[in-house]
Amino acid sequence: MSTARIGRTSFALDFQVRALDDTGERTVTCDCRTVYVVIAVDGSGKQEIPALIHNALGDPEPLMPLRP
């Protein structure tokens, strides 16, 4: 898992599943990206990513190319 992107109200995490093949080498079996949007608990809509989460995400290092 890796942080792919951090915006003002959302962030994306990349996930990669790897398995050992018959020769003992690791092969990638699945790549995926999930985008998370931070919303207010009162239902008023999106809000900025809290500093605690922003800091925990670290610097983005995408596992897959970012799309515009």
| DSSP result, 23-61 | TS-EEEEEEEEEEEE-B-TTSS-B-PPPHHHHHHH-S--
Q: What is the pLDDT of residue 68?
A: 65
In single-letter form, the type of residue at position 45 comes to G
- Residue environment code for 34-62, b if the CB has 16+ CB neighbours within 10 A, otherwise e: eeeebeeeeeeeeeebeeeeeeebeeeee
Q: What is the pLDDT of residue 28?
A: 87
Lowest model confidence (mean pLDDT) among 10-14, 21-25, 35-39:
21-25
Under the banding of pLDDT at 50, 70 and 90, the label for residue 47 is very high
Whether 38 shows a pLDDT value over 70: the answer reads yes
